[in-house]
A and B are shown apart, each in its own frame.
Chain A
């Protein structure tokens, strides 16, 4: 089957905002993702947790509507939505019937540009943020990921959006308003829309809603000098949590697809090496997998697994063995399976307007363009075992940063 041609309109506003519209004619729905250049990496060190609270407050009253009216209006349109503060981005996503898109966009222009940020909503928002932090104590896998990011990535990009208790407790409404003023800006903002929609009329509407939003520079982030460090968190849990990270390439790198292929050999599908050789052959764990952490300037492979404490040492040993032997070679057949998985995911995503909207944001943010389906397919097709092995020789699975959380520390051979 040939690949359908994606119907994409790209429009740049003068203030730096980019509009991406993908028309998917066979659906009745539409989804959008508004992504802003901000996030917890931009928080002051003593106000950790601020970005996430700003996002929550932005949806508690905007434009002429107070908190209750705003929520009721979106609910009455049947909009499903989510907001989140990441490390480098703030994301506002929504899905709805295509006929309600225009009204929904109007409301989001208020949320982004004219949030009321009311002081009376600060305490409820703080209380939610504190409870989210407390809940992390009851979530060992979540805590492992927080520790893993903090151990491997340089501050401030190793931060977790939940912040810390001191930061969340000391945030004032002035902090919230100041952060919004400083970081919620049109430059680097991406509005990505996908569904049964019309590019030209959306361009007009977005110009009208966001065209007069004045630009101002977003202060850059200074990365601290950092040496990744392995660590053990001693805790009496029923499952020892294990996280392993090693460096790879970012999405813009010419070897990005080779890196994806290598991670696929480890972790794509149930015939992948980690699943087959660690879980299936030895029954050491239920969950095991690897994925890529991507930033504009760097990428890393992250491997997570967890097992009962008496199996944990063997689980770590076998997992590391699979990572270390990867550069020794990849079989044609196992790579074919990885390629089949990547290609079918590429096409199946076309059935989801929300997956397309967020996928286009990812492309634009990391690459400054949208990859065509045939380009991605060609990149996947051209992957060979040799290209992957050569990539792994340049970016070998080594110099691991390992974080464990469990009753006993584990041992491993340093490289």
Chain B
């Protein structure tokens, strides 16, 4: 499928993969900013700003923004991570001009003070919503513990206190610092003409300020270890999360890391599945590779009855030790690669998924990758690559947090 790329005079980058057979168009604005880019006193501002984008612009109030998405049947959403804020929408091909207009418009929000104050309540309710869900709570706490002072340890949502204390001026300063056109990538996939997309980008984004963005703090993440038990007796189950180092997003070892993720932690047939889930020792168990700019982590988690926590931790240690010392089998490698390739092909059939992949690849790897590139990279992972990965990022001394009824382990 044809790929196109253009950088506007103000630094905004436009990427597109056109597919005349698709039934829809997906467009996303990727702003290279998130909680890791927040300064002291700004905790939660990236995510709060994402909400404020939908509260109105010079041309539209909040209701008009939402109506303009809905009137064209757009499937739109936004998310904020530690290092990206993405606004995206999928529409039928004839609505590309309208959806581009609204998306571009909300990237220049009015940040009206009355909306700012009302939205604080919604954010605080979102914080409350996460606090009652132990699987989210343990993720948030353990990530902060693992990364500590490293920028990736910062909370995305912030706290009630940080949200209460945040001023509109602080948000405006953050916006001017981070939402410049040189820090934004537009990605599109589906059924449309490249020239039409370029014209839309010139028209709606050409006048955006393109001043340089301060460089991101890419210091090495510390490798913390140790065990901490956080007693919360209102929960009935024990929620365990374990963190260890892994390759950064742009590392050549990342495909090996994805294959290892499937071998150890896929939802069926993986090592953790057979050792913990199949025998009914845990309700669920997972091993995931999380990649970020300049840092990565392996995240192992399980949920179980409190009385089984200690013995399950021993089993986990045994699983990790065995992989570390003996590596993986040829059959495991083959199966994991088939599973990843099958998911890649199926994901490719959905324009929103495609648009997100193209944006991510460009931001993290500075390249366009076709489906065949991905399939070849997955296929190239062999026992030697896994060995190299384990040498560099050994599955040892994972930092462990247990949250639930237990007070010690």
Contacts and interface: CB of A to CB of B under 8 A. Distances in A.
Contacts of A139: 133
B71 interface: yes
A1 interface: yes
Contacts of B119: 283
Contacts of A348: 23-24, 75, 90, 92
Contacts of B304: 131
Contacts of B66: 269-271, 275-276, 280
A136 B69 CA distance: 36
B280 A340 contact: no
A376 interface: no
A26 B125 CA distance: 43
A77 B338 contact: yes
A128 B62 CA distance: 46
A1 B94 contact: yes
Interface string B301-332: 00111000000000000000000000000010
B235 to A, nearest CB: 5
Nearest to A339: B73
Interface in A313-369: 333, 336-338, 340-345, 347-348, 350-353
Interface string B279-290: 111110000000
A28 B349 contact: yes
Contacts of B74: 344
Contacts of A116: none
A212 interface: no
A372 interface: no
A89 interface: no
B303 to A, nearest CB: 7
Given A239-B125, A348-B23, A341 B269 contact: no
B280 A127 contact: yes
Given A71-B269, A135-B236, A271-B67, A351 B132 contact: no
B303 A135 contact: yes
Given A1-B93, A72-B335, A344-B74, A351 B24 contact: yes
A124 B54 CA distance: 48
B70 interface: yes
Which of A134, A282, A336 gathers the greatest number of chain B CB atoms within 10 Å? Answer: A134
Interface residues of B, number: 69
Contact of B349 (A128, A340, A352): A352
Which of A79, A126, A280 gathers the greatest number of chain B CB atoms within 10 Å? Answer: A280
Contact of B23 (A236, A275, A350): A350
B63 interface: yes
Contacts of B303: 131, 135
A294 B73 CA distance: 24
B366 interface: no
Nearest to A68: B274
Given A124-B280, A132-B283, A135-B236, A351 B341 contact: no
Given A28-B345, A279-B122, A280-B62, A134 B268 contact: no
B134 interface: yes
A78 B341 contact: yes
Nearest to A349: B23
Contacts of B237: 131, 134-135, 137-138
Contact of B339 (A4, A75, A272): A75
A71 B342 contact: no
Given A270-B69, A275-B66, A341-B70, A75 B280 contact: no
A287 B133 CA distance: 14
A308 B92 contact: no
B69 A271 contact: yes
Contacts of B234: 236
Contact of A307 (B23, B70, B125, B350): B125
A286 B126 contact: yes
Interface in B58-107: 62-63, 65-67, 69-76, 90-94
B118 interface: yes
Interface string B123-153: 0111011011110000000000000000000
Nearest to A336: B71
B102 to A, nearest CB: 11
Contacts of B341: 78
Given A77-B338, A283-B119, A125 B125 contact: no
A97 interface: yes
Interface string A10-34: 0000000000000000111100000
A270 B122 CA distance: 14
A209 interface: no
Given A238-B128, A268-B70, A344 B75 contact: yes
16 contacts: A29-B346, A77-B338, A79-B342, A131-B237, A138-B237, A140-B132, A238-B132, A279-B122, A280-B55, A283-B122, A284-B121, A338-B70, A345-B75, A348-B24, A351-B23, A351-B351
Q: Which 7 A-B pairs have the closest CB atoms?
A: A78-B342, A344-B73, A127-B280, A283-B121, A124-B280, A340-B73, A269-B70
Interface of B: 21-24, 54-55, 62-63, 65-67, 69-76, 90-94, 118-122, 124-126, 128-129, 131-134, 234-237, 266, 268-269, 274, 277-283, 303-305, 331, 334-335, 338-339, 341-343, 345-346, 349-351
